[in-house]
Amino acid sequence: MLTRSFCELADLVEGRRVLVISGAGCSTESGIPDYRGPDAQPKVRNPILYQQFVREPEARVTYWARSAIGWQRVAEAAPNAGHRALARLEKAGLVGGTITQNVDGLHQAAGSRRVVELHGNLRDVRCLECGLSESRTALQKRLLDLNPEWDGGHSSAPDRDAQIAPDGDAELAPAVARSFQVAGCRRCGGILKPDVVFFGESVPKTTLQDAWVLFEEAEVLLVAGSSLAVYSSYRFVLRAERYGLPVAIVNIGTTRGDEIACVKVRGRTGEVLPALADTLL
């Protein structure tokens, strides 16, 4: 791992308070696929839009049918070496916090404590009518009670050949999903939505405020496993450039911040970050 770029990365972050911006590349080694990495599957469809989910009952049926299959992959995923390395660096006081685009909760599971989830998390669902929250695990049981043939252990389960998608759901033909029964809110029967930010939906102001608090404490920005293709994360790199805050990037492929970065290490976060922790601690 002692490449020139890695040594430059270690020199850059040593003795400085680091803010991590993490993306899907941090979780691919935990078995959760991404949309843009070199190992990503060809895109079959676009992610669901917020307005689609709210306004179109058919879209919600399709979403929850796919989610009933894909959720188990997220629920069973475990933190990888990259997540654990960031938790070690935070515990040692070198990482001041992590702003993540991921919705899988693996940073917290690894032991990171100062985490801002820009796009929310899949652990909970919320009623759009009354606001009642429910765990995704509890909802999964209700969904499978309503649709027993969708249980993965069932001989006729429609998920036998389903391809798992990055959003905690799965690729499934609309015709197959059409018969799925959707569960409503336990209190009022209203529409349940995962507690994540869909495309076309804005990051909550309170979440952004929490993220900017971490940013203001930082002395260097470390982008880990993100192509920075979406503005919600790219904005931090742009502000770092304006403030003269050094930016380092660890990613397999090209990112939108490459020209801004002082250092770019091409590699998997599950390999580079543990080596960085071993070097600094």
Active-site amino acid positions: 119
Rounded CA-CA distance 239/245 in Å is 8
Q: Quick one: the chain helix, strand, coil %, rounded to 5?
A: 40, 20, 40
Please say whether the beta carbons of 214 and 96 come within 8 A. Answer: yes
Distance separating alpha carbons of residues 273 and 170, to the nearest angstrom: 29
Q: What sign for the dihedral angle of Cα 221, 223, 227, 231? A: negative
Give the whole-angstrom CA distance, residue 144 versus residue 136.
12
Question: Rounded to 10 degrees, what is the CA torsion of 251, 275, 92, 207?
Answer: 10
Pairing of β 163-164 and β 170-171: antiparallel
Cα–Cα dist 4/69, whole Å? 44
**Residue 263: its H or E element:** strand 263-266
DSSP label of 48: P
Going from the C-alpha of 228 to that of each of 82, 134, 281, the distances in angstroms are 18, 31, 28
d(CA 237, CA 21): 9
